[in-house]
């Protein structure tokens, strides 16, 4: 069980990563996984980056992103030390990307009805979220899917009731 703490554009939540074990070993600590107290820093990063035609992904971190990660790291150290963790045993895993999105953003690739320039071709997944919410996206994805279902239903009703198709 755990709780998360919100700090505006980033939040901290309990997290375990197997990557922590070798990092601790390098520092001379032989810890069991159940002895580890881990915190994840999740930021709302800036909307940059792209997917290239060869399927490679570019996602450079901006100065603001790095600043937020640093702030979150420092706040995590504060929390861990307060919880009784030996400061010399604190390690940090490499920065990882999660919850990718924004590659077909509303306002750029799709309109507010989630439709592309090709009539009848819709997108309803994390790719349409224009700005990272900095929070887990699954509820937003579910809401987008429900919204699109409603749009398609309404449109189908209009088309089937139209005198031209009757």
Ligand X SMILES: Cc1cc2nc3c(=O)[nH]c(=O)nc-3n(C[C@H](O)[C@H](O)[C@H](O)COP(=O)(O)OP(=O)(O)OC[C@H]3O[C@@H](n4cnc5c(N)ncnc54)[C@H](O)[C@@H]3O)c2cc1C
Q: Which residues bind ligand X (CB under 6 A)?
A: 99, 125-126, 136-138, 141
d(CA 90, CA 88): 6
Q: Is 9 or 137 the residue whose CB approaches ligand X more closely?
A: 137
Closest separation between CB of residue 142 and ligand X, Å?
A: 9
**To the nearest whole angstrom, how small is the minimum distance from the Cβ of residue 81 to ligand X?**
27
- Between 95 and 158, CB nearer to ligand X: 95
Say if residues 94 and 35 touch (Cβ distance below 8 Å).
no
Task: Kindly state the DSSP code that residue 162 receives in the 8-state scheme.
Answer: S
Neighbours of 121 (CB within 10 A): 10
**CB nearer to ligand X: pick between 76 and 126:** 126
Give min distance, CB of 120 to ligand X, in A: 18
- Nearest in space to 138 (alpha carbons), one of 102, 110, 99, 96: 99
Both tokens assigned to 4: 């998360």
Shortest spacing between CB 115 and ligand X, in angstroms: 17
51-to-22, 54, 56, 137 alpha-carbon distances in Å: 32, 8, 6, 20
**Would you say 96 or 161 has its CB closer to ligand X?**
96
């Amino acid at each position: 069980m755990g709780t998360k703490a919100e700090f505006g554009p980033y939040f901290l939540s309990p997290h375990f990563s197997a990557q922590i074990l070798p990092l601790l070993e390098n520092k001379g600590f032989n810890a069991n996984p159940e002895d580890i107290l881990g915190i994840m820093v999740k930021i709302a990063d800036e909307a940059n980056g792209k997917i290239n035609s060869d399927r490679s992904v570019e996602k450079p971190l901006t100065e603001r992103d790095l600043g937020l990660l640093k702030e979150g790291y420092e706040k995590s150290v504060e929390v861990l030390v307060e919880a009784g963790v030996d400061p010399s045993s604190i390690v940090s895993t490499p920065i990882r990307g999660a919850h990718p999105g924004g590659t077909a953003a509303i306002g750029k690739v799709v309109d507010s009805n989630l439709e592309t320039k090709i009539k009848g071709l819709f997108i309803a997944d994390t790719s349409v979220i224009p700005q990272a919410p900095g929070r887990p996206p699954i509820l937003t994805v579910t809401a987008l899917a429900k919204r699109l279902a409603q749009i398609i239903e309404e449109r189908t009703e209009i088309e089937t009731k139209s005198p031209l198709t009757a």
